[in-house]
Amino acid sequence: MGSKMKELNQLLLNFNHKQNFNYDDFYVSKSNYFAFKIIDTWPKWEKNIVNITGEKGSGKSHLSRIFKSKYKSIIIFEDNINNEIFKKLKLYENIILENFQNKINENIFYSLFNFVDQNNKYLIINSTKPLIKINFTLNDLSSRVKNCILAQINNPDDDLIFALILKNFSDKQIKIDRKLIDYIVKRIDRSYRKISEFIYKLDELTLKKKVPISLKTIKEII
């Protein structure tokens, strides 16, 4: 899973005022291993278009930033894509379409697929819903998305939940007893959304209202 990956307990040592989106701060577990492996093994892909999909907060953007830091890439969004952008995309070997929500003109989206194939580019599309489960009206587009590599990030397992919570506190320079994180892991829903909600509520209490992190505080939120 990468010799440079930090051990879980080492995350406590990496304090930073802003969120860390680098390689060493991405914790790999069974839930996200395939998606990470795809990013880490470029360009040895079976196909040149990858759809990384998972719940909001599952680490898709983190993986995109890791990829961009390692390889010449450009990150684009749906509202950036028009006929003019293809001139700019020719300068990059890798294209990352971030946060795809199917708000784009299907013909333009199909043109992006054609552009990638015709110019020997690589394309990563991040979405909460797999492309193959979206009902596109353009038949050619429906066929094309079926030919992507699907990298599904599944609901977090215990190890990943522990790492996500620990990383959040580390990013904010907050130390927390490991036993308290164990307590959270055993009781919180296995959902990135629920984890985000929990962290937000805990931040509201501890950072804004200056309430210390304790078992009592955690019980009130969970």
What does the pLDDT read at residue 35? 97
**Could you list the residue range(s) of the whole structural domain that residue 106 is in?**
33-152
> Domain boundary at 98, 127, 152, which?
152
The neighbour count for residue 95, using CB atoms within 10 Å, is 22
- The pLDDT tens digits of the residues spanning 40-90 come to 999 999 999 999 999 998 999 999 999 999 999 999 999 999 999 999 999
pLDDT digits (tens, 9 = 90+) for 105-147: 999 999 999 999 999 999 999 999 999 999 999 999 999 999 9
Looking at the structure, tell me whether residues 94 and 133 fall in a common domain.
yes
Residues 6+ away with beta carbon under 8 Å from 63: 26, 35, 36, 39, 52, 126
**Token digits of residue 82:** 């028009």
- Shared domain check, 122 and 63: yes
Would 2 be classed as within a structural domain?
no
Q: Rounded distance, CA 183 to CA 171, Å?
A: 20
CATH value at residue 138 = 3.40.50.300
Number of domains in the chain: 2
* CATH assignment at residue 166: 1.10.8
Residues 136 and 168 in one domain: no
pTM confidence score? 0.82
Indicate whether 71 and 56 sit together in one domain.
yes
pLDDT of residue 6: 41
Same domain membership, residue 77 and residue 170: no
Residues 104 and 15 in one domain: no
Residue 1 has pLDDT above 80, yes or no: no
Compute the distance between CA of residue 201 and CA of residue 208 in angstroms, rounded to an integer.
10
In the prediction, which pLDDT does 86 show? 97
Instruction: Please check whether residue 114 lies inside any domain of the structure.
Output: yes
Q: Are residues 67 and 141 in the same domain?
A: yes
Task: Answer yes or no: is pLDDT of 207 > 90.
Answer: no
One domain, residues 46 and 127? yes
Provide long-range contacts, Cβ within 8 A and 24+ apart, for 193-197.
193/55, 193/56, 193/57, 195/57, 195/156, 195/161, 195/164, 195/165, 196/56, 196/57
- State whether 50 and 94 are in the same domain: yes
